[in-house]
Each structure stands twice: as structure tokens, then as C-alpha cells.
Chains A and B, each alone.
Chain A
């Protein structure tokens, strides 16, 4: 099937199998290798990109579903290594990456998070990134990086991150 897609501001087009995953369209058809695939069950988020401005897991989208839409990957966020996007720059400043494999997805998920919640609390950052797994950093510096990127001071006193007295995660919510 013939599809078109704007990727990082550039028009792309190809004739693809319907089953081609968006992640593979980006990596193998367009040649943008930053977006990584880390799992089979939509769990790890390493493949996260922005689709029409919203964070999505590109391994759980068919390329044909993104026909005529607009995708931004980590490469698109920071085309020039010498001039990183503010979120990417914050990851560097806070050492929010080690092996780097989860990083493209983590950065894009963070961008998506901050678009919807510009000044999140630590708890909101942690829950906002629940779809992105990292094995190296323990998330401590990733959380700092996102807080820094949001214009907040990562060193400012923060309440206990796991729920302020509630036993979380899991959700407990109601009208009371």
C-alpha cells in the first residue's frame, strides 16, 4: 500500500506491506535508527515517537495507520548534536542516560508529557513515564532531567515519591 508521511519535517513516501510496523518504517525504510525496539508487548516504550504531536509507541502502530500524518523522532528534536533540544539538553545535564537504548523513547515521552503537563510534580513525572522502561539509570536522574526541562529545580524539596503516605502504585481515586 502506498503511504506518505512527514517525518521530522520532511516528506516521505513508500509502498509498504500493511503489517509493516511504524517503528520499522522509520528505521528501515527511512533510515532513522535512533528509535529502538526493546520488547514485544508494548511495555518498554523505547520506540516512542510523536504522532501529530502526541507520544505513541511506534511498535504498536502500523505504518499505514500513520499515513498522511506527521511523525517526530529524537533525531528530529535535535538535528544538530551541538545544539540539543532543551529536553535532550536536560537529559545530558542530569546524566539521565547511560547505555542510551531507552533514551530516544524516554526523551520523546518526556516531550509528550511536558506538552500536556508543563510543570509536573515528581509523582506526575514518574507516573507519566510509566510506559518507558530503563535498566541502567534507576530513573533517578531521568526524573531530575524532566523536572529541569520543565523549568523546576530538581533539588527542591520533594515529598516521598511513592505516594506521599499512600501505598502506590496501583490507583486509588474517588470523589471523597
Chain B
């Protein structure tokens, strides 16, 4: 913590917490941002275009590949198959079973629809599509493996050499305790689905590469972490990290699916070396929907037990997770699901385990929340099932079981140490803001009247882990002789607004206007070390590092100014880009100091531990019980991530997450048929919502600081998906619970809701008299 005069502190804090519009926007709204496919860098002049030939089958042996027709097509410079590639096929997740390596281009077998089998290089992109259609591949179909239980049975293996479809697991070594629920008056168990989703960033994946005379390769790619991409590409190519230079252009959304590098990026580089020309690749949306990693995809069995007063005594979470065909980061995420299993609740006995299996589908990776929405959706569903079983209001049951605010830091049964939390307060705030009692009254009135449009209210209280895995971050702040400032950060924004936010942080110490502060990221020659942007880590690591570096620069400046001005350091104050002697006009600008000697500070901040933001959401849903159609009328959210640096940006992050959360609950699902054919592989088929499907959101503020960093900040980026999803799912079920419905899996499509109503009616639930419904 750096020393400041009180006056410094006041000035320093004046921009913090204010709604500053983004410095990125004037360019973004005029000539537009520059994404990888937009690049006109002269080094890419004459670049070849890469088009992949992809498998139309989910599981098959390849019996013949004929590229001659393609080779002779107009504009074709090269056609490459797996046999041509001399690189070692990597396991994309180190913890996966041996034998589950992913080939660069499939040679013997394909294991998912969309798997790349050949690569065509053409002078222009239109020719690439035509040439790719001329590659002839013969396949011998094999049975697809889509169902998770079928996969776990090992009846049809994806990898003969692995001898199993189980990639890895967590907690599998220990048997479940058959006495876990002893002493519980009530035990409820249910199998629930946390469905597979597509990240569906608006910008698909793209990369470009060119080799220099110096033997180094420059790779531009759409990534959330240039440094990790560099390391991965170097490793896959079998070359020294020093030979790879990754540059991150503007990125059109990532949501976790663009963490690090895809093997295709390395292939682009390899092909550039093979042909001696630059190579560019930009996938179509159809390719993206089967080629980019999917998210979630867990089959969960929850068991919850407690007494009739409402105390939860035991909870068990059993997870069967889908790796997709080739295990990737998604195979690790159940680790976080287990860690966050108990959520905000102080449950005496908790156990969990997770098995990850391969299937003949697209690989899974991180998607906003990455393992934690799955945990929260499970425990919140379990709490609702428990509440329904004992006949208590779901909000009351939650209040009764949340961790006491005085108990922090709190070590949970999941193995996490929660830093700070005020869960009951968050719940109270959201119930108050949503007018909970009035909502219940309205619901009762509609039920009494037997309205066609019923009201459902869903409550979620959640906690999540942010910054998890990478707590240290680098920053550099430099003042130039012309008075401008350059900030270098190891984070990697793709919409989060770090150029503005980090400029605010630097400004808070330096007093130089943010328009004069440029923030650079994502260039590994400029910034060799960095953790990227994911897991809601950036502000609490990278932002703090910038804040720290700027603060240290002020101290350096003061010491130099003290010498120059022959003044006492304690009599100096920094404001508005200058160091002045208190009470005088004597001083020197930071720019002048920079003119005399380099004025730059490199800093590393290591928080040492993850932080745990939390919140509570109330979703109000209307369900047409005749058609099953559910619509979110209103969603009220309390999200506590500690003190907010820029409310405009923080709200934007909350909005985006809430929208994705609502969408998981109601609309989105990646669907495969029994043969492994994807049925939702375009934006026309996949339930990506437009503005017409969503309401405006009600955000309530709450800020409980963490002790883990000087800004007190936790992460905000993923809160929406974690809190909104279970609240909306719960609301839909709540809307028709009086008809006997106890559970509806996500997405709660009109078809699913209608079928649930019918099934409940069939098993004795209340009748819905369609013919007599008022209209």
C-alpha cells in the first residue's frame, strides 16, 4: 500500500466509482473495431485462405481420402490431410486418459460431426469453399455415442487405445457414504440436466500467421489470452516459445470459449511454414457451431435431506459430465462444480463426485461461469425441491440455511474458503426490491381465477468463485515526455472495457486525463507474461496491478521531483499530471520528469487467493398454461462484487450475464440426434435470443469488499449466468406447481412445459380446462 497525502487520496478517488463512457467507442462506432478477419497488415499481403473439410458423420472410420479433384480446382495452392502433418497429436487436456489425443486432421477415424479431415489452401476464400466440396472422403459409419450413460458403459469406445470412455474424474476414489442422510426427516432426490450450450460469440474463430526471415512466426488470433496461446502454439509446433509472437486484434466476444488457442491456430502457422506464404483462416458460423467448444453439458443427480423445520442437513451431488469427443478444458470444470456444490448454505454434510466421459460430439470447454453455474443450478434446484417437500416458502428455506455473516472467512464443505459474504442481506434486498409479498399475492389471485397466464416467482441465492486459478497479474505504467501514458496489461479484454477502466485506475494516481492514457494488451512481444481475461479475474488482479503500478510511479516521481526541486518528499503532492510543493506553484510535470529519464514502473500484483462474489436474484415469469410458453416479465438482481470501479461497465457485464442466464433457462440447447447429428447448428435453429425475447433488467447494488486486494474488488463478469439461470428455471416450475409440476429441465421450452403439465395432470395433478379457459 503506497503512502498518500489526504489530498492525494481525495483526488485519486474522485474518478473511481463514476460512470465513464468508453474510450474505445469512438473508433468502434466509426470505422469499427479491427477483428482478425479485418486485418490489412502488410505482412499478410498475398495470404492464402484456409478452408477445412469437415466430417459429416459423428463416428466413422475413414477408408479413403481423395484430394486430386480439389488439387486441380481454380485457385488451389495446396491440399493437406492428416498424413502430411508431422506434428505430435496432443492431448488437449493433460488430465485426460492416455489415448485421447486429438489428431491435427483426422486420419483413421472421425469422432464428431465437424471434425476437420482436410485443409484446402486457395488464393481467395470463395475458391476455398468450392475446392473443399471436391475433396472426396469415404467413411464407414460406426455407432454414435451421444447419451452420457451409454458413453459411461463403454459399450462403444471412441478410443480403442484408451480402453474406456472415461476421460477423468474427481472424487471417484471414495465411495458415497450410505449414512449421509441418516437423521433427515425428509430426503428428496432428482436427476437434472444442465444442458449443453454454444458460446455463440458473434465473432467466430479466426487466425492468421506469417513466418519472418528471422525464423519467428507471427500469429494473429481471436483469443482471450495471447500468452497462453503463444505457449500452446509453440508447444504444438515443437518450437521454442521465443519463436512465437502472438498478437491479439480486437476480439468479438469469447465467453470462455476462446481461452488460449485452438489447434486450428497452430495448423494455420504450420501451413504458413509449409507453403512459405501467410495463411488466414476465418470460420463460418456453421463451422463455429460444431467447431468451437460447447459449454455446460452435465447430468446431475442431487439428493438433499433435512428436517421439517427447514434445516438442510445433508447434500449430495453426483455429476456425469460430457467431454465431447476430445477432452479439453471442459473436462476440468466439474472440479469447480464440486468445489461450489454447497453454494451459500451451511450444510453439515456434503459429498460430491464427477465422472467425465467422451461422446461423439463437439468438445466442451468453458462458457461463462465455467462449472459454477452448474453447481448453483443444482443446489438451488435441490433447495426448491426440499422447500416444496416440506411446504415452506423457498425464500424462507434459503434464509434459514445461508452461512452466517459473522462466519467469514468460511471454509466450506466443498473445500473453498469464502472471503466475505452477506447472503441474508442480499436475499432481503432482492425480496424487497421485487415486492415479493405482492408477487405471491398476485400469483395466488391468478391461481384462484384459473387464469390462462399464470405467474411464477423464482428465487436464487448464489456465491461464486472468481479469479480462480490465476491470482497474479502484471502491469506496466509509463509516462512519456509528451504527457501521454502507456499502460501495459496482461489481461485481454474482448468487450469488458479495460482500455477505459485501466485508464481510470492510472488516472486516479496520475491525474492525467484518460484520453491521454493508452492501454495495450495481447501482444506477447510487448507483454511476455499475462493471465488473460476469463473467470472474472481481470479487475481483481490486472486492474489492481495497474493501480499499484501507477501508485508506485507516483512515488518514483515524487522522489525524483524532491531531488530536482530540493524539496522534502513529504511536502510534495501529485495531481493533474504534475508534482507540486504543497501550498506553492513550484513543481514539475510528470512529462518533464519523463523527458529527463524514463518514467516507467513494472508491477506484479498477486492476490494469492480467489474471491467470492455473491448475490440473489428474483425472476418473475409468466406462463401460458395452454401453450406452455414462458416469458420473463421481470428479473431483479442483487450482485455483490465489492466496490465498483465503473458502474456503467459493471452494469453491462451484469446485463450480458443475465441475458445468457435467462436464455439457458428458457431458450438455448445444443441438440444432437441419436446418430450424433447436430440439430441446432445454425443461428436459425439455436435458441440465441434477440431483444424481443428479453425484458429490461432491474439491478440493485450491494458492495461488500474483499480483503484480498486494495480495491476490495471481486469479479462481476459471470454473476448473471450463475444467479439468473436457476431463478428463471425455478420461476417457470413455480408458475405451474399448483398443477402438480415438480420439475422441468432446462431449457423450459413451451413443449417441455406443456408436457410437464400433461404428465402432472396424468398423475393426479390439477386439471387445466382448456375448453373453458377465459379468453
Q: Do chains A and B touch in the complex (CB under 8 A)?
A: yes
Residues in A lying within 8 Å of B, measured CB to CB: 17, 19-20, 27, 31, 33-36, 38-44, 46, 74-75, 78-82, 84, 88-89, 91-93, 95, 97-104, 107, 122, 125-127, 129-143, 158, 160-163, 165, 167-170
The 10 residue pairs across chains A and B that have the minimum distance between CB atoms: A34-B32, A101-B252, A138-B659, A98-B495, A99-B495, A43-B683, A138-B655, A81-B26, A139-B691, A33-B38
Given A79-B30, A129-B690, A169-B692; A40-B284 close (CB under 8 Å): yes
B26 touching A92, Cβ below 8 Å: yes
Known: A46-B202, A92-B22, A92-B29. 14 other contacts (CB 8 A): A33-B31, A36-B35, A36-B202, A36-B252, A40-B285, A99-B201, A100-B24, A101-B35, A138-B694, A143-B691, A161-B694, A162-B622, A167-B627, A169-B692
Chain A: CB-nearest residue to B646: A95
Interface size on B, residues (CB 8 A): 67
Chain B: CB-nearest residue to A73: B32
Least CB distance from B398 to A in Å reads 25
Contact with A along B462-500 (1 / 0, CB 8 A): 000000000000000000000000000000001111000
Compute how far the CA of A89 lies from the CA of B25 in the bound complex, rounded to whole angstroms. Answer: 9
Residues in B lying within 8 Å of A, measured CB to CB: 21-22, 24-35, 38, 40, 126, 200-204, 250-253, 255, 284-286, 453, 494-497, 622-624, 627, 629, 631-634, 648-649, 651-652, 655-660, 682-684, 688, 690-697, 720
Q: Which residues of B contact A126 (CB under 8 A)?
A: 690-692, 694
Least CB distance from A162 to B in Å reads 5
Compute how far the CA of A161 lies from the CA of B634 in the bound complex, rounded to whole angstroms. Answer: 8
Q: Which residues of A contact B284 (CB under 8 A)?
A: 40
Q: Which residues of B contact A170 (CB under 8 A)?
A: 629
Give the contacting residue for A80; candidates B30, B627, B648; CB below 8 A: B30
A101 touching B203, Cβ below 8 Å: yes
B683 touching A39, Cβ below 8 Å: yes
Compute how far the CA of A109 lies from the CA of B659 in the bound complex, rounded to whole angstroms. Answer: 21
Interface centre among A78, A102, A169 (most CB of B within 10 A): A169
Q: Which residues of B contact A102 (CB under 8 A)?
A: 202
B633 touching A133, Cβ below 8 Å: no
Least CB distance from A173 to B in Å reads 15
B285 touching A139, Cβ below 8 Å: no
Compute how far the CA of A102 lies from the CA of B29 in the bound complex, rounded to whole angstroms. Answer: 11
Q: Which residues of B contact A31 (CB under 8 A)?
A: 40
Given A97-B25, A137-B656; A34-B31 close (CB under 8 Å): yes
Q: Which residues of A contact B201 (CB under 8 A)?
A: 99, 101, 135
Q: Which residues of A contact B27 (CB under 8 A)?
A: 81
Q: Which residues of B contact A81 (CB under 8 A)?
A: 26-27, 29-31
Q: Which residues of B contact A41 (CB under 8 A)?
A: 285, 682-684
A160 touching B695, Cβ below 8 Å: yes
Compute how far the CA of A140 lies from the CA of B29 in the bound complex, rounded to whole angstroms. Answer: 18
Q: Which residues of B contact A36 (CB under 8 A)?
A: 32, 35, 202-203, 252
Q: Which residues of A contact B657 (CB under 8 A)?
A: 138
Compute how far the CA of A168 lies from the CA of B627 in the bound complex, rounded to whole angstroms. Answer: 12
A39 touching B690, Cβ below 8 Å: no
Compute how far the CA of A119 lies from the CA of B648 in the bound complex, rounded to whole angstroms. Answer: 25
B30 touching A168, Cβ below 8 Å: no
B255 touching A135, Cβ below 8 Å: yes
Compute how far the CA of A27 lies from the CA of B31 in the bound complex, rounded to whole angstroms. Answer: 12
Compute how far the CA of A137 lies from the CA of B38 in the bound complex, rounded to whole angstroms. Answer: 22
Compute how far the CA of A33 lies from the CA of B622 in the bound complex, rounded to whole angstroms. Answer: 42
Least CB distance from B572 to A in Å reads 36
Given A39-B683, A127-B692; A162-B632 close (CB under 8 Å): yes
Given A95-B22, A100-B33, A162-B632; A130-B691 close (CB under 8 Å): yes
Least CB distance from A122 to B in Å reads 7
Q: Which residues of A contact B688 (CB under 8 A)?
A: 43, 133, 135
B32 touching A133, Cβ below 8 Å: no
A95 touching B692, Cβ below 8 Å: no
Compute how far the CA of A100 lies from the CA of B251 in the bound complex, rounded to whole angstroms. Answer: 9
12 pairs of residues in contact across A and B, judged by CB atoms under 8 Å: A27-B38, A36-B35, A36-B252, A41-B285, A95-B652, A97-B25, A130-B692, A135-B688, A137-B656, A143-B696, A161-B696, A169-B631
Q: Which residues of B contact A163 (CB under 8 A)?
A: 631
Compute how far the CA of A89 lies from the CA of B632 in the bound complex, rounded to whole angstroms. Answer: 30
B30 touching A158, Cβ below 8 Å: no
Q: Which residues of B contact A27 (CB under 8 A)?
A: 38
B38 touching A98, Cβ below 8 Å: no
Compute how far the CA of A19 lies from the CA of B683 in the bound complex, rounded to whole angstroms. Answer: 22
Interface centre among A75, A140, A170 (most CB of B within 10 A): A140
Q: Which residues of B contact A134 (CB under 8 A)?
A: 202, 691
B656 touching A74, Cβ below 8 Å: no
Compute how far the CA of A107 lies from the CA of B633 in the bound complex, rounded to whole angstroms. Answer: 26
A93 touching B690, Cβ below 8 Å: no
Give the contacting residue for A139; candidates B25, B651, B683, B694; CB below 8 A: B694
Q: Which residues of A contact B633 (CB under 8 A)?
A: 160, 162
Q: Which residues of A contact B25 (CB under 8 A)?
A: 91-92, 97
Least CB distance from B634 to A in Å reads 6
Given A40-B286, A168-B631; A97-B28 close (CB under 8 Å): yes
Compute how far the CA of A168 lies from the CA of B35 in the bound complex, rounded to whole angstroms. Answer: 36
A101 touching B253, Cβ below 8 Å: yes
Compute how far the CA of A137 lies from the CA of B656 in the bound complex, rounded to whole angstroms. Answer: 4
A44 touching B202, Cβ below 8 Å: yes
Q: Which residues of A contact B126 (CB under 8 A)?
A: 17, 19-20
Chain B: CB-nearest residue to A144: B696
Compute how far the CA of A167 lies from the CA of B497 in the bound complex, rounded to whole angstroms. Answer: 36
Compute how far the CA of A44 lies from the CA of B288 in the bound complex, rounded to whole angstroms. Answer: 14
Least CB distance from A92 to B in Å reads 4
